[in-house]
Chains A and B, each alone.
Chain A
Amino acid sequence: MGAALWTIVDKEIRAIGKEKTIVLAIVIQLVIASLSSVILIGLMSFYDPSTIGQNSNIHLNIGIVGDSSSDLIKELRAAHMRTTFYTSPDSAQGDFAAGKLDAVIYVPPDSNGVTDMKLFLPQSDTKTTVILMVLKEPLKKYENYLRSLNGVGVKYTDLAGSSSTTYEFLYSFIVPMLMLFPAFIAGSIVIDTLSEEFENKTIETLLSAPVTLNDMIGGKLTAASFIAIVQCILWPALLLFNHIYIQNLILVLIMAGLISIFVSAGSALIALYFKDRERSQFVYSIVIITVASLSYLIEPSPIGLITRLATGAPDVGVMNVALYVIPVAIMLALIFLNTKRLAAMKA
């Protein structure tokens, strides 16, 4: 191991650079990240009422029929809705049909007991969904008011926090995905280059040169992990540009690097045994899904650790990352002590 290894590293990186398909891989990651945030925004606007109620500039015009002094009207106004009181349902109907109102609510007088309210909405699926979402918060507040009239006390109703959906999604999906996808690609690259050598029978020529099998595999692993780590460094820079900050950046990157090395070494094991791309890639995809879901049983899981480090959680630190050096070391020992045996096996 020495000069030969670095020659191989250099050769592999050049090959990947020449093919330019790595650009495609980076674009894929960008697309996944962007698409999932677009999906999240879309989902939130339809399914998470609190965000759309607070952040959007939707100003609804609500017609009220019935009790003009109801507390609901106060709540609706507090949520920036325009309310108009109608003494007769007919005039409300007229304005509703003319499109001056988005919805009409019939409010019975406040009472202890059950209040049966009626809500009249237009027949348009998307618009109705939005109106209902915006109405939800004021209705809930009014419901709590009615509960208090009934002598039912509800606690924790006035918590002020920010909606955590985007925050959780960003740090527990997008950031780990951007940190793990390069590792996944690294594994695939190792399988491709290794099985290519086996299938094209170039491995014999390579080994007749003063290169050992360990040199070759070490070189391929180093090259693949190097490319993965470069990508991992790229993403935080891009996120920074979008005002998303990753805490404990160095630890997050070390963790991502450890995962890439682990995955590349594992994929080298698979490729050495099967020696063809078709089966290796298949087994690799299945094993990686399994290992990823298994890793959730560990506390903190590798993915969970990245999330917590990136959010700056107070309960994780260097020690948690250091522990993950052990499985990586075991994996590397496993492969470098057994390369010859694995390569000789017939599968």
Chain B
Amino acid sequence: MKNVLIIALREAKRFKSRFRGGSRVLILTILAISLLISYFVAQSGLTLSKGVYTIGASPYGPTIDDSRFNVIIMDNMTGYGQLGDGSIDAYVDVNTVISRSDQRSKYAVGALKQYLEKSELSRITEEYDIDRAYPLRVETHYLNVSPAGAIPVGGSLSDLIGPTVEPVTSTPQPSQQASVNPTPTSIVAPAPTKTSDGTDAAVREQVDQAMNGTQPRFKAQFVSENETIIPSLMNPPMPLSQIILAFLYIVPIFFISVFFTSSFMDEKTNRRLNILMSAPVSALDIIAGKMLPYFSFALVVIVTVTLVLNGNLPLSLAIFIPVVLFIFAIYLMVALFYRTYKDQTFFSMAAITFITGYLVFPALFADVNSLSYISPLTLAVQMYRGESFSILEYVFSTLPMYFVFLIGMYVGVRIFNEEYLMGYGPLYRKSGDAIYLSINRRHVYMSVFLLSVFLIPIVFMVELIILALATNIQQMFVMIVVLLFFCAMVEEIAKSSGIVMLLENGDVSSYRKVLVLSFISALGFWLGEKALLALSLSIMPGSALLNAMSGTADTTASPIILLVLLLLPLAAHFVFTSTVCVSTKKLGARWYFAAVMAGTLIHTLYNVYSMHSMGAF
């Protein structure tokens, strides 16, 4: 602990020395100016699509005040003429909008429609009383659908996670529902009323929100229990503003972590790291010590941002500390992996893309789907909406962060030696060496098992990226095959990498041992895969995904068939992995790529076949 503090102090000094004299003033000035400018630009309302459409407008028509439109006032004869020769995209007349038939003009009208709808609403709100302007109010109620519904729960998923509720015969049981479910279970036709004071308050509130552009009152769901909807004012709360708030935390943390990686690079260049490594301190001391000052900076950022935003401090710390650790762990990998300056730049960019994607993408769907809890930013969004979340959801979103941090620290400590850090080999070589160094050679079986388990989250994320890339392919069948192929390849590399590194370094020599290790690796992967599936299902019961996945369920399967269905993937994983590993052993590590291809090919064929038999195509 003392060593950590000494190194932390040394690191803080090094960092300070970077910013002294004239450069400190200059950098602080640049920082202040940029903050000021960002603030003003944000205040003036930044629209990306400024002036995309050029439109003509009748002098008697509505005023169009939207930066997307470049408006030219002209009478309708000129308007028609200019529309014809393409100088304007659409012409707004007193009562209608005139357009051409080409795409560009159609999009302009689409955008105008969106805008004019809103301006018409504000016009009728001003001109008429609220009962005439908003005559329709829809009161929503939520009813429990019994498991006997059109979407049966169970099926192939129950095949995987064990026996679930048998579908009961489809008889509605209203009396039973009433006792368990507080929401109304019978539909009562109320006597129609001419005016409705009960809903007027709700209408006023929603009109106010829509017209003044204030953020809608945030709700636990798109609409909460028994809420009144006004169709023309119906808009789900998009969590954009809270995401921007979350960025106020993330961006400074990014900058801090860049300094954290630079620190390693700086000391690698001037060879001070070698001196540090020869001192009687452990690798963990050095990494933790170097991380500590930047971690403290990050804490200061979290506290400051929270205080400025007037947020809940303990809750913000609880949400963002795991995020900071996660980001630092990834940047630690960047720092230890890179070979040249340009490497570091590109690795950092990759890290930023990956981290932002992982954190922001799910949070955009806060309140829409429970799977959004995979990102802690969802919690931050909810916190700034004044909503609550359960401890289970907190654990679900932050546990992976700690997990990544611990793995990052473990790998960091294992590979923290001079030879590795200063080495300049190709990237696959560096990754392979990192895996080899992470394996504890005294517990080879356990290591290979754990490696398979721990690589699953990484495999999962890489597969998500492959999925995103594959969506660029227009043809459905080609897309699925390409997706399956590359996913199989990633999985085969993940399962075999440890064994192949052991083979290459001569730690494993017999075919029997290769086969046993392949089985253990397959077992670890299979267990982790199923555990991940079970976990994601438990966090989002009854969601559409589950329904979709169990769509083709055969609920009458006998337990033996269930067992076979469960064990078949394990056997398949074993076959693929041993194919890769045995052929690598036979042909030598130089042919590893070919061996992976062989395994991938069998894997893909198996997947295509099983998808085909499931009726996917």
B357 with A122: CB separation less than 8 A: no
- In the assembled complex, how far is the CB of residue A276 from the closest CB belonging to chain B, in whole angstroms? 8
Give the chain B neighbours of A336 by CB distance below 8 A. Answer: none
Among the 9-residue stretches A160-168, A207-215, A229-237, A255-263, the one with 4 or more Cβ atoms under 8 Å from chain B is A160-168
Q: Does chain B have a CB within 8 A of A69?
A: no
- In the assembled complex, how far is the CB of residue B273 from the closest CB belonging to chain A, in whole angstroms? 14
- In the assembled complex, how far is the CB of residue A97 from the closest CB belonging to chain B, in whole angstroms? 4
Give the chain B neighbours of A163 by CB distance below 8 A. Answer: 110
- In the assembled complex, how far is the CB of residue B518 from the closest CB belonging to chain A, in whole angstroms? 30
Which B residues, 110 to 142, have Cβ-Cβ distances below 8 Å to chain A?
110-114, 116-117, 120, 124, 127-128, 131-142
Give the chain B neighbours of A89 by CB distance below 8 A. Answer: 186-189
Given A46-B368, A93-B186, A129-B222, also A99-B150 (CB < 8 A): yes
A126 with B544: CB separation less than 8 A: yes
Given A98-B148, A290-B34, also A31-B138 (CB < 8 A): no
Complex alpha-carbon distance, A109 and B141, angstroms: 20
A189 with B135: CB separation less than 8 A: no
Q: Which of A111, A200, A274 contacts B269 (CB 8 A)?
A: A200
Complex alpha-carbon distance, A266 and B148, angstroms: 66
Name A147's closest neighbour in chain B (CB-CB).
Answer: B135
Q: Does chain B have a CB within 8 A of A331?
A: no
Count of A-B contacts judged by CB separation below 8 Å: 397
Given A156-B96, A162-B110, A282-B258, also A125-B370 (CB < 8 A): yes
A146 with B135: CB separation less than 8 A: yes
Complex alpha-carbon distance, A129 and B229, angstroms: 13
Q: Does chain B have a CB within 8 A of A277?
A: yes
- In the assembled complex, how far is the CB of residue A281 from the closest CB belonging to chain B, in whole angstroms? 7
Q: Does chain A have a CB within 8 A of B23?
A: yes
- Residue from the set B113, B238, B258, B343 with the largest chain A CB neighbour count within 10 Å: B113
Name A98's closest neighbour in chain B (CB-CB).
Answer: B170
B325-344 CB mask vs A (1 if < 8 Å, else 0) is 00000000000000111111
Q: Does chain A have a CB within 8 A of B477?
A: no
A195 with B341: CB separation less than 8 A: yes
- Residue from the set A159, A279, A315 with the largest chain B CB neighbour count within 10 Å: A159
Give the chain B neighbours of A193 by CB distance below 8 A. Answer: 341-342
B22 with A347: CB separation less than 8 A: yes
- In the assembled complex, how far is the CB of residue B550 from the closest CB belonging to chain A, in whole angstroms? 14
Q: Does chain A have a CB within 8 A of B511?
A: no
Q: Does chain B have a CB within 8 A of A56?
A: no
A122 with B349: CB separation less than 8 A: no
Give the chain A neighbours of B132 by CB distance below 8 A. Answer: 147, 150-152
Which A residues, 237 to 282, have Cβ-Cβ distances below 8 Å to chain B?
238, 242-243, 274, 276-279, 281-282
Q: Does chain A have a CB within 8 A of B390?
A: no
Complex alpha-carbon distance, A191 and B262, angstroms: 14
Q: Does chain B have a CB within 8 A of A342?
A: no
B1-26 CB mask vs A (1 if < 8 Å, else 0) is 00000000000000000110111001
Name A96's closest neighbour in chain B (CB-CB).
Answer: B143
B368 with A282: CB separation less than 8 A: no
B208-248 CB mask vs A (1 if < 8 Å, else 0) is 00000000000001110000011110111010000000000
Q: Does chain A have a CB within 8 A of B172?
A: yes
Which A residues, 179 to 228, have Cβ-Cβ distances below 8 Å to chain B?
185, 188-189, 191-193, 195-196, 199-200
B192 with A108: CB separation less than 8 A: yes
Q: Does chain B have a CB within 8 A of A76?
A: no
A99 with B48: CB separation less than 8 A: no
Complex alpha-carbon distance, A144 and B232, angstroms: 9
Complex alpha-carbon distance, A132 and B235, angstroms: 10
Give the chain A neighbours of B106 by CB distance below 8 A. Answer: 160-162
- Residue from the set B192, B347, B350 with the largest chain A CB neighbour count within 10 Å: B192
Complex alpha-carbon distance, A189 and B543, angstroms: 46
Among the 9-residue stretches B404-412, B467-475, B496-504, B553-561, the one with 4 or more Cβ atoms under 8 Å from chain A is B467-475
Give the chain A neighbours of B192 by CB distance below 8 A. Answer: 108-109, 111, 115-116
Q: Does chain A have a CB within 8 A of B346?
A: yes
B117 with A156: CB separation less than 8 A: yes
Q: Does chain B have a CB within 8 A of A149?
A: yes
Q: Does chain A have a CB within 8 A of B429?
A: no
Give the chain A neighbours of B50 by CB distance below 8 A. Answer: 296, 300-301, 304
Give the chain A neighbours of B135 by CB distance below 8 A. Answer: 112-115, 143, 146-147, 149-150
B172 with A94: CB separation less than 8 A: yes
B518-557 CB mask vs A (1 if < 8 Å, else 0) is 0000000000000000000000001111010000000000
- In the assembled complex, how far is the CB of residue A113 from the closest CB belonging to chain B, in whole angstroms? 4
Which B residues, 86 to 116, have Cβ-Cβ distances below 8 Å to chain A?
86-89, 95-97, 99, 103-104, 106-114, 116
A118 with B110: CB separation less than 8 A: no
Given A24-B346, A93-B174, A290-B33, also A35-B468 (CB < 8 A): yes
Give the chain A neighbours of B27 by CB distance below 8 A. Answer: 279, 282-283
Q: Which of B111, B195, B350, B370 contacts A161 (CB 8 A)?
A: B111
A282-302 CB mask vs B (1 if < 8 Å, else 0) is 110111011001101101110
Complex alpha-carbon distance, A173 and B312, angstroms: 34
Q: Does chain B have a CB within 8 A of A37?
A: yes
- Offer 25 A-B interface pairs, CB within 8 angstroms, sorted by A: A20-B427, A21-B343, A25-B346, A28-B349, A31-B469, A34-B468, A35-B361, A89-B186, A90-B186, A99-B151, A111-B194, A114-B137, A115-B137, A116-B137, A118-B140, A121-B141, A122-B142, A123-B143, A128-B223, A129-B236, A142-B136, A173-B48, A296-B41, A308-B52, A347-B21
Contact surface of B with A, Cβ cutoff 8 Å: 18-19, 21-23, 26-27, 30-31, 33-34, 37-38, 41, 46, 48-54, 68, 70, 86-89, 95-97, 99, 103-104, 106-114, 116-117, 120, 124, 127-128, 131-146, 148-151, 170, 172-174, 177, 183, 185-190, 192-196, 199, 221-223, 229-232, 234-236, 238, 255, 258-259, 262, 265-266, 269, 339-347, 349-350, 353, 357, 361, 364-365, 367-370, 427, 465, 467-469, 471-472, 474, 542-545, 547
Q: A46-B365, A96-B143, A119-B140 are in contact. List 14 more A-B contacts (CB 8 A).
A: A37-B471, A42-B365, A65-B187, A98-B170, A120-B141, A139-B234, A146-B135, A162-B106, A171-B52, A173-B48, A200-B269, A243-B474, A274-B23, A279-B27
